[in-house]
Amino acid sequence: MKMKTYRAATSTAAFAKVKSELGNEAVILSNKTVVENGCKCCEIVAAVESEPVRPQRHSKESVVDAALRDSVGWQREWSQIKGQIMALMKPQMDPSKLTPKQRIALEYLEREEVNERVLTHIYCTMRETRDCPVMTALDPLIKATPFRAETWTNTFHAFAGPGGAGKTSSLVRLALRMKKERPGMRLCLATADGGRGKGRLVLKHYAELSGLAFREIITKEDFTLLREESRRFDMILIDLPGLSGRTTLEEWSRLYGLDECRDLSIHLVLNPYYSTAQFERFVDKYKSEQLASVIWTKLDEACTFGAVLNMAFASGLPVSALSFGPGIKNSIRPASEEMIWRLMFMRTLPDGNKQP
């Protein structure tokens, strides 16, 4: 971890310095006004995991050669492992041992890009009990805990996930929904985006428009202060920054003291059309004891929904909300299990519209 102190006449200029030298991964450790040569200025202490790597110049051929040389080992290893797993599973996965209905359900899920791990699990469950109804095998795989004030009774809720996944918009839309359902609810919207993204302005705008409290978390002290005043609110929704590079959610949470907050649930915001490798990376990057649910966004832009099942199986997390449009109104719903199965088997979005 490398720490550096930056000073500039304004906080905007100081943030710009941090960004240009340390990049978007920099974590702000403190932000205060100091006096230098008799003038007030802004001092920011920021940290990055390691020095940004300066790109080296390589010819196209040398890049490809190097990549192929390095990949031979793991490629062989991976294809051997994969071959062995499939050889073990294939004889067991005999479709003729299933009822026609079970077979169709499995084929359907395979088309939806449900992965082999999950398909094998479903197959084994179906085989365990003769004539096992399809839904009996599938039901335990998906759990929904709808994002509503009465279901999620703890105060702090943070929205994590890759940049552009839909964290800020999901947070705003869920807050507005809850405020509409319970006008007396004391909601606070907080941004921990480090003053970089436009999400801060979006959040501030909707908070002001709807009479909700708005707070900024720039340093660890800001979060401590928010915890101290948390009794004033029924729910505090925190917009986390998209963590690029190698920074993990656990590291980030530790820096800001979020890990010490027992009253915090983290919701992971994802789109169903990331690649398999990307999902595996996310499971690692965003693992946390405080991770409590997955929010699926951009369902309207997806053409298969197997990822919802794959993620539920890999993480054991419930789904809390489903988002299916870019607009603020009528584009997110607290999740239900029925909605998810309708999505998976009928490609029907929560508003009843069908995906092609």
Ligand X SMILES: Nc1nc2c(ncn2[C@@H]2O[C@H](COP(=O)(O)OP(=O)(O)O)[C@@H](O)[C@H]2O)c(=O)[nH]1
- Least distance to ligand X, CB of residue 328, Å: 8
Length of the chain: 356
Under 8 Å between Cβ of 311 and 273: no
Q: Decide whether 167 or 267 has the Cβ nearer to ligand X.
A: 167
For residue 258, the partner it binds in ligand X, Mg ion, none, with Cβ less than 5 to 8 A by kind, is: none
Options 132-140, 168-176, 221-229, 256-264: segment touching Mg ion (CB under 5 A): 168-176
Closest-CA residue to 204 (of 118, 164, 212)? 212
Q: Residues 326, 338, 346, 353: which binds ligand X (CB under 6 A)?
A: 326
Strands 2-8 and 39-48: antiparallel
Tokens, residue 268: 């992971």
Tokens, residue 24: 């978007």
3 state DSSP class of 145: coil
Q: Restricting to residues 241-260, which ones interact with ligand X according to CB under 6 A?
A: 242
Q: How many CA atoms lie within 13 A of 165 on its CB side?
A: 28
Options 77-85, 167-175, 204-212, 315-323: segment touching Mg ion (CB under 5 A): 167-175
Residue with tokens 């994969």: 82
Q: What is the largest CA-CA distance in the chain?
A: 84
Closest-CA residue to 113 (of 243, 306, 265)? 306
For residue 223, the partner it binds in Mg ion, ligand X, none, with Cβ less than 5 to 8 A by kind, is: none
Q: Residues 31, 102, 145, 168: which binds Mg ion (CB under 5 A)?
A: 168
For residue 94, the partner it binds in Mg ion, ligand X, none, with Cβ less than 5 to 8 A by kind, is: none
325 lines the binding site for ligand X (CB under 6 A): yes
Under 8 Å between Cβ of 272 and 147: no
297 lines the binding site for ligand X (CB under 6 A): yes
290 lines the binding site for ligand X (CB under 6 A): no
Burial environment of residue 324 by CB neighbours within 10 A (0 to 12, 13 to 18, 19 or more): buried
Per-residue string for binding with ligand X, 204-243, x by CB under 6 A? --------------------------------------x-
Q: Decide whether 112 or 239 has the Cβ nearer to Mg ion.
A: 239
Cα–Cα distance between 308 and 343 in angstroms, integer? 10
Q: Decide whether 168 or 323 has the Cβ nearer to Mg ion.
A: 168
Options 177-185, 230-238, 253-261, 321-329: segment touching ligand X (CB under 6 A): 321-329
Residues in contact with Mg ion, counted by CB under 5 A, come to a total of 3
Q: Restricting to residues 139-168, which ones interact with ligand X according to CB under 6 A?
A: 161, 163-168
Q: Decide whether 134 or 243 has the Cβ nearer to ligand X.
A: 243
Cα–Cα distance between 94 and 282 in angstroms, integer? 33
Q: How many helices (H) and strands (E) does the chain have?
A: 12, 11
Sign of the Cα pseudo-torsion (326, 329, 334, 336, in order): negative
Residues forming contacts to ligand X in the complex (CB under 6 A) are 161, 163-169, 199, 242, 269, 297-298, 300-301, 323-326, 331
Binding region for Mg ion (CB under 5 A):
167-168, 199
